[in-house]
């Protein structure tokens, strides 16, 4: 029987690797058949989604946004001018970019197809237990939401695919971001209704109710729905099992009490994609692939513990290079390899900053200041309540964005997305990127995908 499950899962994997929107002619009896007649095999299918995320790196959900978003904004810069990611740093991404097509667009849509197949299979199953069905559906709706939230930030309007009907999907047009946001909200509300508060795993490596609620808070932030953003983030903060780590070097460990959701590594020798990409080899002449930009370094206040804990240094030929050091472990294939870091997807500090921003817009300045001070206190910085107790709303919003810049650097493209949602990308980056244009806020739709689907149109500036 296990061999049969493996064959079915392999079929789903292979189907997800066909053309993105035009996914071919899948055998729906395989995709929606025997896999979803048993709780165990359905669980294996969902576990396969998590494994696919972590087996391919750096992709959109596994370190890719930390790199391309950090380069596109003003956080990191490549140390080698032949680095294939230089086009992201220069904001001159080619419509034939391999990384953009394979690890962002292609990965997103192939994983969406796999997730949609699971949603379809579980929804139509009559033999799964209610508890397992609810849990797996809730996780799948969350993953679909997570993918689309990143896709619209990178590309703007993208095709909305929620089914496995290959004929309907073959020639889809781009869907308005507002419609996709509505779908994300619908999926996350379903997810929070289906999931319970307990994690269905050892560690916080599968989705629970609070993970879905935390992602919902982030969606509300992007929508500027301040009432719901404040409510959702408050529910997560007050949930009980989460707390800010006092030691900054513990934040990204596998047992971090700050973690709301982490992804567990599946490849031998690896902990996290960020660690593999950012932490340099101990070899004396090996440069870090990426250095922290002077713009980011200069944004840290004196005495900020995040600078000493989360930024590493390496001296090569008398020159000191900096690099993101939130994750401490790089690739290690030796006998002393251990796993102690998981990829952080959602964490409590971000929820405090979401709530602070929402509270400021809702004129609850004392509450917003208290949230920001929670983050500053851990960083060893003076409290806003002490140094500027009469701060006004506009000044507080600026302070919150500064705190997000420091707290969330090199994580999931947060800085890149913040610059865009706050409409400050051009005013800030035009002074830091020589070739910057207003149209650089969106990545190009890959030419190969437009050739496959004549209904796809290119983003402005890439024709």
Listing DSSP states for 234-252 in one string gives HHHHTSSS----SSGGGTT
Residue 71 inside a domain? The answer is no
pLDDT number for residue 426? 97
Mean pLDDT value across the chain:
92
Residue 308 inside a domain? The answer is yes
Q: How confident is the model at residue 50 (pLDDT cuts 50, 70, 90)?
A: very high
Residue 30 inside a domain? The answer is no
Domain count, the chain: 1
Tokens of 206: 């599968």
Residue 189 inside a domain? The answer is no
Residue 281 inside a domain? The answer is yes
Radius of gyration of the chain (CA): 22
Which residues partner with 322 through β-bridges? 313
| Alpha-carbon dihedral sign for residues 188, 125, 120, 64 | positive
pLDDT number for residue 166? 75
Q: How confident is the model at residue 196 (pLDDT cuts 50, 70, 90)?
A: very high
- Quote the CA–CA distance of 78 and 213 in Å, as a whole number: 35
Assess whether pLDDT exceeds 80 at residue 208: yes
pLDDT number for residue 81? 84
Q: At what angle do helices 226-237 and 348-361 cross, to 10 degrees?
A: 140
Quickly count: other Cβ atoms within 10 Å of residue 374's Cβ: 18
- Quote the CA–CA distance of 285 and 267 in Å, as a whole number: 27
Q: How far is CA 35 from CA 93, 207, 345, in A?
A: 40, 21, 28
- Quote the CA–CA distance of 174 and 197 in Å, as a whole number: 36
Assess whether pLDDT exceeds 50 at residue 15: no
Residue 247 inside a domain? The answer is no
Q: Percent of the chain scored above 70 by pLDDT? A: 93
Residue 311 inside a domain? The answer is yes
What value does the mean pLDDT take over residues 399-417? 98
- Quote the CA–CA distance of 89 and 74 in Å, as a whole number: 8
CA 64 to chain centre: 9
Higher pLDDT: 82 or 122? It is: 122
CA 393 to chain centre: 29
What value does the mean pLDDT take over residues 92-115? 96
What value does the mean pLDDT take over residues 388-399? 97
Q: Answer for the pair 35, 121: CB distance below 8 angstroms, yes or no.
A: yes
Domain that holds residue 295: 273-344
pLDDT number for residue 33? 57
Residue 208 inside a domain? The answer is no
């Amino acid at each position: 029987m296990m061999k049969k499950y493996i064959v079915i899962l392999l079929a789903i994997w292979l189907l997800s690797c066909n053309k993105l929107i035009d996914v071919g002619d899948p055998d729906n009896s395989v995709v929606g058949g025997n896999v979803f007649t048993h709780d165990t095999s359905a669980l294996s299918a969902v576990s396969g989604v998590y494994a696919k995320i972590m087996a391919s790196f750096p992709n959109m959900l596994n370190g890719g946004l930390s790199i391309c978003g950090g380069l596109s904004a003003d956080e990191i810069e490549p140390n080698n001018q032949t680095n294939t990611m230089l086009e992201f740093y220069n904001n001159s991404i080619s419509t034939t970019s391999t990384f953009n097509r394979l690890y962002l667009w292609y990965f997103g849509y192939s994983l969406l197809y796999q997730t949609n197949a699971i949603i379809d299979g579980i929804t139509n199953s009559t033999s799964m237990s209610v508890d397992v069905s609810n849990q797996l559906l809730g996780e799948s709706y969350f993953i679909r939401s997570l993918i689309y939230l990143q896709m619209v930030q990178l590309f703007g309007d993208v095709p909305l695919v929620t089914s496995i009907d290959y004929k309907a999907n073959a020639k889809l047009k781009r869907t308005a971001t507002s419609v996709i946001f509505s779908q994300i909200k619908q999926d996350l509300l379903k997810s929070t209704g289906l999931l319970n508060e307990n994690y269905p795993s050892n560690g916080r490596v599968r989705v629970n109710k609070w993970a879905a609620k935390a992602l919902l808070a982030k969606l509300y932030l992007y929508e500027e729905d301040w009432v719901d953003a404040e409510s959702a983030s408050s529910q997560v903060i007050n949930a009980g099992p989460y707390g800010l780590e006092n030691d900054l070097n513990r934040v990204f460990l596998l047992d971090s009490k700050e973690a709301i959701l982490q992804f567990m590594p599946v490849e031998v020798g690896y902990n996290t994609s960020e660690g593999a990409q950012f932490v340099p080899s101990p070899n004396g002449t090996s440069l870090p692939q990426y250095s922290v930009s002077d713009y980011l370094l200069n944004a840290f206040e004196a005495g900020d513990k995040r600078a000493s804990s989360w930024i590493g240094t390496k001296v090569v030929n008398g020159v000191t290079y900096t690099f993101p050091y939130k994750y401490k472990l790089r690739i290690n294939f030796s006998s002393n390899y251990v796993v102690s870091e998981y990829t952080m997807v959602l964490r409590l500090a971000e929820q405090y900053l979401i709530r602070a921003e929402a509270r400021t817009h809702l004129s609850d300045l004392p509450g917003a200041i208290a949230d920001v001070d929670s983050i500053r206190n851990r960083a060893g910085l003076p409290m806003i309540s002490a140094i500027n107790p009469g701060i006004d709303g506009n000044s507080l919003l600026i302070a919150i964005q500064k705190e997000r810049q420091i707290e969330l650097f090199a994580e999931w493209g947060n800085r890149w997305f913040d610059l865009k949602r706050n409409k400050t990308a051009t005013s800030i980056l035009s002074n830091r990127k020589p070739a910057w244009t207003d149209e650089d806020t969106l990545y190009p739709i890959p030419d190969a995908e437009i050739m496959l689907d004549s209904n796809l149109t290119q983003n402005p500036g890439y024709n």
